[in-house]
Amino acid sequence: MSRIFVTGGSRGLGRGIVKAALNAGHDVAFTYLQQRAAADELVAWARTNTPERRCLTYALDVGDPAAVERVGDEVLEALDGVDGVVCNAGIVDNQLAVQMTDEAWDRVLRTNLTGSFYVARHFLMAFLGSGGGRLLFMGSIAQGGLSGQANYAASKAGLVGLAKTLAKEYGPKGITANVVVPGFFETDMTRESMAESHKQFWRQFCPLERMGEVRELAEVVLFLLSEQASFVNGQEIGVTGGLDWAR
Ligand SMILES: NC(=O)c1ccc[n+]([C@@H]2O[C@H](COP(=O)([O-])OP(=O)(O)OC[C@H]3O[C@@H](n4cnc5c(N)ncnc54)[C@H](OP(=O)(O)O)[C@@H]3O)[C@@H](O)[C@H]2O)c1
């Protein structure tokens, strides 16, 4: 049994990771930004389905460093330490580069990249004190470049540099840092940002000819957080159905 912290656990992939972690016997703290009702519903689900596990939720904007420190401390106290952190919270704001506003650039970088750094920095301090831990960042196949997503692609590529650096700085202290790279999954993010024709296009290019199911990502995330993944460090692990390229 481990203690796991997930940012952006109220919906989508994060929610699936929270549920899978609880089902696998872990205690979980997760955050939401605005969707309090969705977060409360997940806590209620845990109370019914995994009553022996702790499931705690916190409001947090990962782009606010003071809030990250405060909530991070609260989580560490409530769970009496944390073993694995999933920097999952992320947003899109798609625009062609020539039309991209400063606001769209800043907002996406601030949440996806800077916010993940703030969270990782806070828990690294705890991991150094406890003798180890797992950091997992949520990348994207967009990190290789994707039209209309200069901000998002840059944020996800930045996470690769961040994870690989942390893997080197803190590997000697028993801390691993990796990036999980999802392909396309049906969540609010893809529902809201991708036209059906666009999804159909990518389904055709995916060797498995479908989008992923959230549980398929969550299982890999749990493995990467586990003791069995103790020698996986500084890696990008694709969960893409074989779709490793996007235009
Ligand atoms: N879905 C895919 O196919 C796909 C593919 C590749 C990568 N990803 C990555 O996977 C992660 C999750 O994506 P998703 O599809 O599950 O997205 P989603 O359904 O839109 O959920 C996003 C989650 O992030 C939270 N969040 C948003 N902004 C935040 C902030 N500033 N601070 C803290 N939390 C914040 C949201 O909270 P509220 O519920 O309160 O709004 C929500 O829990 C993202 O990093 C995304 O880039 C997704």
Cβ neighbours for 77, distance < 8 A, ≥ 6 positions apart: none
Query: Would you state the structure tokens that stand for residue 124, as one six-digit string?
Result: 């690294």
Contact (CB, 8 A) for 181 and 160: no
Q: Buried b / exposed e across 84-120, counting CB within 10 Å, b at 16+?
A: bbbbbbbbbbbeeeeebeeebbeebbbbbbbbbbbbb
* Mean pLDDT of all residues belonging to the chain: 96
Nearest atom (ligand 1) to Cα of 36: 40
From ligand 1's centre to the CA of 90, what distance in Å? 4
Nearest 10 degrees: Cα torsion 31, 36, 41, 46: 20
Q: Ligand 1: which of 91, 190, 192, 208 to mutate, most ligand atoms within 8 Å of CB?
A: 91
Dump pLDDT digits (tens) for 75-127.
999 999 999 999 999 999 999 999 999 999 999 999 999 999 999 999 999 99
pLDDT at 195: 84
Contact (CB, 8 A) for 116 and 85: no
The catalytic position among 32, 58, 118, 152 is 152
Cβ neighbours for 138, distance < 8 A, ≥ 6 positions apart: 13, 86, 87, 88, 90, 159, 179, 180, 182
**236-239 and 175-182 strand pairing:** parallel
Nearest CA to ligand 1 atom 33: 61
**Closest to 201 measured CA to CA, from 211, 192, 191:** 211
Taking 80 as the threshold, does the pLDDT of residue 1 lie above it? no
User: What residues flank ligand 1, with Cβ below 6 Å?
Assistant: 7-8, 10-14, 31-35, 38, 60-63, 88-91, 111, 115, 138, 140, 182, 184-185, 187-190
pLDDT at 110: 98
Nearest CA to ligand 1 atom 30: 61
**40-to-59, 187, 195 alpha-carbon distances in Å:** 11, 19, 30
pLDDT at 245: 80
pLDDT at 202: 84
From ligand 1's centre to the CA of 190, what distance in Å? 10
Dump pLDDT digits (tens) for 175-223.
999 999 999 999 998 888 888 888 888 888 899 999 999 999 999 999 9
Dump pLDDT digits (tens) for 152-178.
999 999 999 999 999 999 999 999 999
Q: Is residue 152 among the annotated active site residues?
A: yes
Rounded Cα gap, residues 166 and 119, in angstroms: 13
pLDDT at 41: 98
**Closest to 160 measured CA to CA, from 138, 182, 145, 175:** 138
**Closest to 180 measured CA to CA, from 109, 85, 57:** 85
Class of domain 3-239: alpha beta
